[in-house]
Amino acid sequence: MEPERGVLDPVRGAEELEEAFRLPRALIFKHSTACGGSHAAAREVERFLAARPGAPVFVVHVIEQRPLSNELAERTGIRHTSPQVILLEDGKPVWSASHFAITAEALAERLAPSEAPAR
């Protein structure tokens, strides 16, 4: 039995991230654990999740999971930056934001939990 994950724990690998591409809507948060700006964005993602528990948010730590982060940039066609959020609809990127554009309000506007299944 796997231990329960925290709200912003990173995905455990490519297989888990693949789930984001199978859902009708999912948000991927690319987080740098060494960047103050990324920590501010992480607080916004946490604020969003506190108001919408169960929203499909997948986290990639860009330093510790560099190959996965690079693969994500290649697969979505969205140039890497961090912090960064990418909204997927049916496996296709439809919106992204970075740095101070990542707010709980912006995430709520783009991804309502009633529109996507909990993960």
Structural domains of the chain, with CATH:
14-110 (3.40.30.10)
Q: What percent of the chain has pLDDT over 90?
A: 80
Q: pTM (2 decimals)? A: 0.88
pLDDT at 11 > cutoff 60: yes
Higher model confidence: residue 115 or residue 52?
Answer: 52
Provide the mean pLDDT of the chain.
89
Task: Please give the angle made by the CA atoms of 114, 15 and 38, to the nearest 5 degrees.
Answer: 65
pLDDT at 4 > cutoff 90: no
User: In angstroms, what CA-CA distances link 43 with 18, 24, 100?
Assistant: 25, 25, 11
* pLDDT tens digits for range 58-112: 999 999 999 999 999 999 999 999 999 999 999 999 999 999 999 999 999 998 6
pLDDT band at 36 (very low <50, low <70, confident <90, very high): confident
pLDDT band at 1 (very low <50, low <70, confident <90, very high): very low
Residue 41, H or E segment: helix 36-51
Under a CB-based contact definition with an 8 Å cutoff, are residues 86 and 78 in contact? Answer: yes
Residue-level pLDDT at 5: 55
Under a CB-based contact definition with an 8 Å cutoff, are residues 45 and 85 in contact? Answer: yes
